[in-house]
Structure 1
Amino acid sequence: MNFKRITIGVLVATMTVLSGCQKGYLDINNNPNQVTAATPVLVLPAALSSSGAYFSTNFTFLNLWMGYWNWSGNYSIATSDKNYQFTTGYNTGIWDSAYIILKNYDYIDTQAASLSQPQIQAMAKIMKALHFQILVDTYGNIPYTNALKGISNAQPSYDDATAVYEDLFKQIDAALSLFNDADKVAAQGGTVVNPGSNDIMFQGNINKWRRFANTLKLRMLLRQSEKSDRQSFIQTQLATIKASGYGFTQSGENAAVNPGYANSSGQQSPFYGSYGNGVNGQPVENYNINRANKYAVDFYKAENDPRLSRFYAPVAGSSSTYNATYFGTINPQANSLVSGIGPGLLQSASQSSYILTSHEAFFLQAEAAQRGWISGTAQTLYQQAITESFLNLGLTAADASTYYAQALNNVGWDASSNKIQAIITQKWASLNGWSPYEAWSDYRRLGLPAVPISQDPSTSVKQIPIRLFYPQSEYNYNSTVVAAQGNINQFTSKIFWVK
């Protein structure tokens, strides 16, 4: 990463580089080259906003890989985007933007510690753990221990991915301890700085943060479910989660940020602004480029799933016809003949940016319960997860219960012969557009569901990639260290937990 170009001023001025929010929106310091001492409570909303934009827009290419979207026939698309033969220049924002965001949270962490603001410090630690987790899950070994020291260590070493994962649990535990410390201070009549509305994700609700933290832990533990050498670690961490007594994300508790998105220039919600309509009400180019994928459309149709009309828009001139093509097809269809992104995903210019949805949280709990890891009834959690998906798309709980009451494999609980497969299949069905990254992670971990590979004739390796390359910025500015990681192959260089 190019640490030589990351200055302290970046900590409070880089919230707009990720996409979605244009220059000026949520900027705290208009001069990124000027060193500024901003209080943690003022940096927090900008940092959370940048995280929202990051997760809303950096991983949408995975909608193609995971069977949700396809390219429009109205556009000529680069072959490298259709056959998985990408380079070190592919989606580099996933790496570069993450480390800038991490610098923001590291600033909040250290400044909050110096000012004795444990609640704000804990929030920063949890968000740091989240971003580092995604980096590990995407690249494997990464700069970690020395990664955020700026020009004092401009060429940081790489840490072992497994070791990073294990330390992330320690960081989350440290955050939970800080919340507890704050509780003790408050109980003794002391003053505790709560960010309140400056916490644009949970509005200062510490119990929601605690449940979010435990849910992140559960996600990381499930990543490792298929590795026999990780089972002891998993059980130890599950015991810690149980002992905390905080539980997991509850119904309606989407981890979603909203600093006040509006249908004004530079203030639209990042996903909507990138894939919906512009301020003028006309579809943006990315809406026209991205069309429905036949694999998902056929799935929703076969399962009598009303979410079809929320994930996709009907074809032009119809109110109920949904058409699609497979990813990489040699016969892509014109926009008027295939469905676009639907109203359940493109709700409004003011919609929140989602970091971890309630439906993902319940699917995590359902899988953990089915594996015997946590208490609770797997069927109840599974059905609640489906319900949360329906509610988040603007449907009703009654719609959900009608759906999962069907005696269909991978839909109805009793009708499903393989419960883990049913959970992961329904989880995949719910993540369309919301979080294709999590669908990709489950696919790498379990091979579920059987998403078809690109149909492009130049697809020589018949496999969805299991990782990305380190970005070109690393080879430019940290070449010796990154070269020590060896020759990376997107199909065979496994993340430590990949099946």
Structure 2
Amino acid sequence: MTKMILKYSGALLLTVSLAISGCKKLDDMNRDPTRPTTTEPQYLLTGAQKSAMDILYNGLQNGYIASHYAQYWSGNSRFVDSQYQLDEGNNTALWNTLYSYSLHNLDAIIKMNSTKAGQPGVGNQNAIAHIMRAWLFQVLADTYGNIPYTQAFQNETNITPKYDDPQAIYNSLLDTLQAQIGILDASQTSYNTGDIIYNGNVDSWKRLAHSLMLRMAIRMADANPQKAKQIIEAHYQQAITDNGQSAQFQYVDAVPNRYPQNDKDRPIIDFAVSTTLMDYMAGLDDPRLPIYARPSDAEKKFVGLPYGWSTSDPAHKSDAFYSAPGKQIYSATMPGILMGYPEVEFILAEAAARGMNVGDAATHYTNGIKASMHYWRDLSKTTITEEDINAYIAKVPYTAADWKNVIGTQKWLALYPQGFQAWFERTRLKFKKPGGQPLFMAPKSGVLDLSVKDGVPYRLTYPIQEQTQNKANYDAAATAVGGDLKGTKLWYNKF
């Protein structure tokens, strides 16, 4: 961690809390909740939620990095991002925001409440903060590998924290989530204001904790199959069971609380939907395609942009000839998804395919597709009939012998536009189209990072500032992960 992050005084750490008192939803605000003047747990929570969602769904991080690596989108004029040339400013902003704003706010809640032990609602407030911390630390560990964890917030005594092993972090996060499930008490209050995701509903946060444990467990299914099985079988029945229970941060159509990547604040010029996503969906007549993408301006039809294609190629047409992401994806009120019901069903489908005792793989697989279709139908207010859904499922039947490709492709489609989670799943499962034909393509104009040998980065390199401001621990972490390169595989990718 950098000195810039960890030398903040206690007062400055609280400057990312919420300024407006008495709000229960984001649309009650008329000011930016990441720039507040009041420091109370509920305001800190809103600041943590919004700062995290803003950076994870920003065009610079979700767009140029994660959605490129998931191969949902391809860059228009900035095609080098699709060739794996990492913008260090975007990378540093991701690291700094999650640590110095989002996680610091959550840590501040827990420290602030340390003097209030036993008071009504404090246990629930801290448990919710811990659950959000677990979510964000997993995102960081899955993005970089070894990261500051146990010493991350010892800012008064240690401004150069060590980097912890991601497997150890996973184990700690799982223990933490298990503990919070036991602490959460629906008979007590929690956050009466400030919780945009679940409005302080304790049962909802408990379901999310169970669901996050499923996400962690399935990601380690190859690295530690016995532990993955134990966790999934113990927690799947208490996880999210319908779209209405999904964890989302609902943005509103008012500055500064719009979805961070919307076409009201700036025109659509950065990205086109990749041919990878477009051609696969079009080939299946996927009912979600008109939601995921929009017809090209020039020809009024769905046209994908080949991935990583240089604009210097004479065959490369202007942006108007390629499909931009859909209107709902660029809506000012698009929610930031923390974890949705479709993902839970696909986790259980994979768990069943691996022999875990969680029910029938084909049933969970079908449930996952239906949940995704229903989610997008309801969100975008389009007409996707049950007949449409059943016809689609008939084209993509569950096949036990090909479960990795079958489940992988449909989970990838359902995770759109969650670039980070889709990228993590792409590198973990290494899936292809059902039947084994390649789904993803290498950058059309070549790779600019020669460490990326498998067609996709497995991680982000550490921010450059770490090499000078926390050099000894940076060097140790770079050695521990196997080299600070984008082509270095994470612990759960080495199987």
TM-score strictly above 0.5: yes
When the two chains are superposed, the root-mean-square deviation of aligned CA atoms in Å is: 2.7
1:49 aligns with: 50
Shift of 1:67: 2.3
Bigger mean CA offset, 477-486 vs 297-306: 477-486
After TM superposition, the structure 1 = structure 2 runs for residues 249-398 of structure 1, keeping only pairs within 5 Å, are 249-258=241-250, 261-272=251-262, 276-278=263-265, 284-285=266-267, 287-316=268-297, 321-330=301-310, 331=313, 332-346=316-330, 348-394=331-377, 395=382, 396=384, 398=386
User: Can you list the C-alpha shifts for 1:378-398, whole angstroms capped at 9, x where unaligned?
Assistant: 222212211222222225351
- Rounded to whole Å, the distance in 2 between the matches of 1:454 and 1:318 is 25
Counterpart Cα distance in 1 of 2:106 and 2:241 = 22
Contact 2:44 2:109 in 1 (8 A): yes
Cα distance between partner residues in 1 of 2:281 and 2:246: 24
Identity %: 25
For 2:413 and 2:234, locate their aligned partners in 1 and report how far apart those are by CA, in whole Å. 31
For 1:86 and 1:217, how far apart are their aligned partners in 2? 30
What are the Cα deviations for residues 298-322 of structure 1, in whole angstroms up to 9, with x where unaligned?
1011111121111111112655x11
Residue type of the alignment partner of 1:29: P
Opposite residue 142 of structure 2, the aligned amino acid is D
Match of 2:445 in 1: 456
CA contact (8 A) 1:271 1:353 kept: no
Question: Structure 1 pair 374/344, CA: closer, same or farther in 2 (3 Å)?
Answer: farther
Shift of 1:491: 4.6
Cα deviation for residue 170 of structure 1 reads 0.9
Residues 457 and 422 of structure 1: CA distance in aligned 2, closer, same or farther (over 3 Å): closer
Aligned residue identity for 1:25: D
Q: Which of 166, 171, 176 matches 1:166?
A: 171
* Code of the aligned partner of 1:300: M
Gaps of 5+ in 2: 19-26, 433-438
Per-residue CA deviations over 1:76-131 (Å, capped at 9, x if unaligned) read x374x243243755522221111121111111123234323111111000011111
Q: May I ask how many residue pairs the two structures share in their alignment? A: 455
1:9 to 8, 11, 17: 11
Cα distance change of structure 1 residues 353 and 314 upon mapping to structure 2, 3 Å threshold: same
Counterpart amino acid of residue 322 in structure 1:
F
Give distance in 1, aligned partners of 2:153 and 2:259: 29
Deviation (angstroms), 1:212: 0.9
Paired letter, 1:246? Q
Q: Decide whether the 8 Å contact of 1:89 with 1:472 is kept in 2.
A: no
Residues in 1 aligned to 2:477 and 2:34: alpha-carbon distance in whole angstroms:
36
Give distance in 1, aligned partners of 2:66 and 2:83: 13
Equivalent-residue separation in structure 2 for 1:175 and 1:429 (angstroms) = 31
Give me the whole-angstrom Cα distance separating, in 2, the residues matched to 1:375 and 1:354: 25
CA distance in 1, matches of 2:231, 2:139: 19
Deviations along 1:421-472, one digit per CA (max 9) or x if unpaired, are 2111111122232x12122112211211331121123545542111111112
Corresponding residue to 1:59 among 45, 62, 69: 62
**1:202/1:399 CA distance change after superposition, 3 Å:** farther
2:489 — aligned with what? 494
- Seen in structure 2, the aligned counterparts of structure 1 residues 147 and 250 have a Cα distance that, compared at 3 Å, is same
Q: Secondary structure at the match of 2:337?
A: strand
Q: Structure 1: state its 5+ residue gaps.
A: 31-35, 187-191, 279-283
Distance in 1, matches of 2:33 and 2:332, equals 16
Distance 2:204 2:217 in 1: 20
Distance 1:466 1:442 in 2: 10
Q: How does 1:462-477 map to 2 (within 5 A)?
A: 462=453, 463-477=455-469
The answer as to whether partners of 2:48 and 2:106 remain within 8 angstroms in 1 is: yes
CA contact (8 A) 1:28 1:43 kept: no
SS at match of 1:164: helix
Matched with 1:189 is none
Q: Is the 8 A contact 1:113 1:121 kept in 2?
A: no
Alignment partner, residue 237 of structure 1: 231
Change (3 A) 1:337 1:78: closer
- Residue aligning to 1:26: 33
Distance 1:93 1:249 in 2: 34
In 1, Cα distance between the equivalents of 2:72 and 2:36? 39
**1:247 aligned onto 2:239:** yes
Render the CA deviation track for 1:139-171: whole Å, top value 9, x for unaligned: 111111111122321001111111111000111
Give the match for residue 414 of structure 2: 430
Corresponding letter in the other structure for 1:172 = L
The aligned residue for residue 24 of structure 2 is none
- Whole-Å separation in 2 of the counterparts to 1:343 and 1:201: 23
Q: Which residue of 2 aligns with 1:281?
A: none
